Structure 1
Amino acid sequence: MLEHTPDVLTIPEAAETLKLSVSAMQSLVDDGEIEHLEIAGQTLIFKTFLIEYIEKLRHACYTESADASQAPQGHLDNHREQDIPPFSEGETEMAKYKFNQSVTINGAKRWITANSTQELIDKAMALALAGAPQDHSKHPFEEYAWNWFQTYSAPNVETSTATTYKRQIRLYLIPAFEGLAVEDITVDDVQRLFNNMAGAKATKDKARMVLNQILDAAVEEKLLSSNPLKSRRLKITGKASKATEPYTVEQMRYLVQHIGDIQKPEDRTFLAILALHPLRLEEVLGLAPKDVDTDSSTIRVQRAVTHPSRNQPEVKDTKTDGSHRTVGLSTLALPYLQIPSEGKFLFGGNKPLSYMQVRRMCWRIQRDTGFSENITPIRFRTTVLTDLYDQTKDIKLAQAAAGHTTSAMTLKYYVKGRETSSKAAAAVDKLYSA
């Protein structure tokens, strides 16, 4: 098999070569048992790494002592009776073979003698196929899911989205459908997956979204007559995710009054931009010095910086076409802006800030200002949009400032409202008493 194997393999291809499950192969890679390379988020294994792994196992089990009269070392030192190689062929016959290896097939131990690695693999394959005939008409879910991810998903979505999809497959879907073929997955199996998942409903929805795409592909290939996720019997429940709370007006006033207390100029500029404008953190990190125009009092949003792999920043386009926009520059921010004359990015110079650099900046800002709560970037966007709508009552204006494609998105997730229940009652009383 190795003779006809490509020089570079993916995880599923390497698993197929060694006749292991994809999860078992992934474990070997994660544990460092098999060397690999990471290129553009893809795990690749050279054929030579597989050969070295096989040789390492062979030498670990059968390293001979310097004294030929001693027994082989390794795991055979404490062998049990069933581990002793059969001697029916005699000592002379056994000496002819380079390999004398035991394998377990369907719970039964078998011994294979061979003159080469290729012969050893061929004989092991023959025994496996003879002892456990496979149904090649069906598609194991694990292999089908990874093939879908690597062929149709990862090359066609953002890196952060691909990372999320991969996490759902590895943590939830494969353990739930282990040992099942795609063709055998039922509504009951899917329901058990979500019944056994803990956490918020949003977590389950991520797994549902990925599974739905995989099962839709199976329906398209006529492996399934219908998608079990579309069943009316299916119930996906869970606690609601905690909504992002805006900072209070008093907290925002405190921060604005203490921006000048921040020691580093870059930190002061960061808080002035982040806290006073309805921008996503990724949009703030993607700003170039020329995007902040103090003469026209505008900020142009044209790109974003995300961190799909934590400390590996990725420069990309904005989230949607509507996110390409120009927002007004706050006059409160102007005194604290220090715009560099050089560098590709407003924050970080020629290289965008990493995830950890942003966290450290937020810690320094909290320390220097003496702010009572954590500096959480997403809360500023929610706060500014809440107060923008509260002061203007213009949802279209808030939508444009947020860079949303619909006003419903702005209202549902970002406009929290400042009015109290007593004000609502007073408004009704005023109307009905007229």
Structure 2
Amino acid sequence: MANNKGKRRTFGAIRKLPSGRFQARYPGPDGVMRSAPETFATSREADDWLAEMRTEMRRGDWKDPDEGAVPFEEYALRWVKERRLSATTDELYRRLLRLHILPTFGELGLDEITPPKVRSWRSERLDATGAETTVAKSYRLLKAILETATEDELIRRNPCRIRGAGKESAAERSIATVDQVDALAAALGPRWRLMVYLAAYGPLRPEEQAELRRRDVDLDAMTVRVRRAAPELATGRRAEGPTKSDAGRRLVVLPAFLHIELRRHLDWYAQEGADGLLFVGEKGKPFRRSTFGRKWRKARIAVGLPDTFRFYDLRHTGHTLATRSGATLKDTMVRAGQSSERAALMYQHSDVERQQEVAAGLDRLVKERRKDAREQPADGPQSASGTDLARDA
């Protein structure tokens, strides 16, 4: 019969508990006695576990189990802070943590987050929100944080092991026609119509347009220089700073049919001075995406586009039209300011001369579509009004 007072070994000790299970304890390199995180059904299993601990210490692989007791919330918030992220990414990560991750894992130690708990959390989030894209983003963030904890040797292995859980399967984005782009521009009115055209035929991000200055526009060359961006955070603060990536700083050659749009906007609405903002509100204040959003929704409804069509989808429209006009993948990625290691290899040789060719192709395509629309019976006042200004070119 096993002795309740304990059975000594050359390394560590084993004792039988009143429950009938066995507890193993051993001295760490610092001399402090530590217990196994679980009890064992037999003395042999406890002895095998002690042998593993002794081997780890001899190899230098032993890690203090108390290190993994760091609270996840403390570690996660420090992880976000140390990354020095852009304002928008920082805001996104903190929102995902606050709404989706910390309610489940915040009070747990890093070593208490297990694969079964991760699977249960993901399933619960999918059931509660139905937002597969948001849950995928949250899973990727959780996995990244715990991967760093693994590298910091606070946990032995990342518990996020669900194949494909971080992959987003977004629905196919809508594409507007040339007539619909014109109709949207007309519905938004003279002050904001150029934003629609720059989004579709640039294609520029809204946060890039928000930071455009007079000095960034060259009417003779029909180019716009994207230098910085000013995304608007959920708090309403404009976070002026660098573009989304290095590729975002670029020279965009615009199609010639936008010349009169660009010139009139500079004459009528842009702030004075070389550093004056290109887009400002009726009171001369910097562009606010929240205010513009209300105008956009009204225009979208007036044109008859679905609720799912976002202003950002005009960029997708620009991608598609540029491709149809003869642009290669290299060309479209340069125009859109997209960046990745793989993409950089694909579009690094798309220079300004090639961009001028793409812009000329866009110019021909849009003019042909507008000509066809004028020669056919008008479907309604919106189709006609969308090109009034452009016809003066």
Indicate whether the TM-score tops 0.5. Answer: yes
- Write the distance in 2 (CA, Å) between the matches of 1:178 and 1:255: 45
- Write the distance in 2 (CA, Å) between the matches of 1:146 and 1:237: 20
| Corresponding position: 1:194 with 2:194 | no
Partners of 1:322 and 1:403 within 8 A in 2: yes
Partners of 1:318 and 1:324 within 8 A in 2: yes
Partner of 2:136: 205
User: Per the alignment, do residues 378 and 186 of structure 1 end up closer, same or farther by CA in structure 2, a change over 3 Å counting?
Assistant: same
SS where residue 300 of structure 1 aligns?
A: strand
User: Per the alignment, do residues 330 and 184 of structure 1 end up closer, same or farther by CA in structure 2, a change over 3 Å counting?
Assistant: same
Where in structure 2 are the equivalents of 1:17-56 lying within 5 Å?
none
Q: 1:267 aligns with which of 175, 192, 204?
A: 192
What percentage of residue pairs aligned between the two structures are identical? 27
Where in structure 2 are the equivalents of 1:228-267 lying within 5 Å?
228-229=159-160, 231=161, 236=165, 240-252=169-181, 254-255=183-184, 259=186, 263=189, 265-267=190-192
Please report the TM-score for the alignment, with normalisation by the length of structure 2.
0.59
SS where residue 316 of structure 1 aligns?
A: coil
* Corresponding letter in the other structure for 1:316: G
- Write the distance in 2 (CA, Å) between the matches of 1:136 and 1:408: 38
Partner of 2:278: 346
Partners of 2:176 and 2:314 within 8 A in 1: yes
- Write the distance in 2 (CA, Å) between the matches of 1:393 and 1:143: 48
- Write the distance in 2 (CA, Å) between the matches of 1:244 and 1:409: 21
Partners of 1:283 and 1:301 within 8 A in 2: yes
* Corresponding letter in the other structure for 2:337: G
User: Per the alignment, do residues 409 and 308 of structure 1 end up closer, same or farther by CA in structure 2, a change over 3 Å counting?
Assistant: farther
Q: 2:241 aligns with which of 299, 306, 316?
A: 316
- Write the distance in 2 (CA, Å) between the matches of 1:294 and 1:206: 41
Alignment size in residue pairs: 266
Deviation sequence 1:99-145 (CA, Å, 0-9, x none)? xxxxxxxxxxxxxxxxxxxxxxxxxxxxxxxxxxxx89822323333
Partners of 1:286 and 1:304 within 8 A in 2: yes
Quick check: 331-340 or 136-145, which moved more? 136-145
Runs of 4+ in 1 over 6 A off after TM superposition: 407-411
- Which ranges in structure 1 are unaligned for 5 or more consecutive residues? 1-134, 412-434
SS where residue 299 of structure 1 aligns?
A: strand
Partners of 1:200 and 1:238 within 8 A in 2: no
- Write the distance in 1 (CA, Å) between the matches of 2:92 and 2:230: 17
User: Per the alignment, do residues 235 and 244 of structure 1 end up closer, same or farther by CA in structure 2, a change over 3 Å counting?
Assistant: closer
- Which ranges in structure 2 are unaligned for 5 or more consecutive residues? 1-65, 347-393
* Structure 1 residue 336 displacement after superposition: 2.6
- Write the distance in 1 (CA, Å) between the matches of 2:85 and 2:115: 28
SS where residue 220 of structure 2 aligns?
A: coil
- Write the distance in 1 (CA, Å) between the matches of 2:72 and 2:188: 54
| Corresponding position: 1:333 with 2:258 | yes
Quick check: 180-189 or 204-213, which moved more? 204-213
- Write the distance in 2 (CA, Å) between the matches of 1:158 and 1:309: 14
Please report the TM-score for the alignment, with normalisation by the length of structure 1.
0.54
Partner of 2:74: 143
Partner of 2:375: none
Partner of 1:356: 290
Partner of 1:429: none
- Write the distance in 2 (CA, Å) between the matches of 1:381 and 1:157: 24
* Structure 1 residue 255 displacement after superposition: 4.8
- Write the distance in 2 (CA, Å) between the matches of 1:321 and 1:237: 25
- Write the distance in 1 (CA, Å) between the matches of 2:85 and 2:168: 28
SS where residue 326 of structure 1 aligns?
A: strand
Partners of 2:67 and 2:154 within 8 A in 1: no
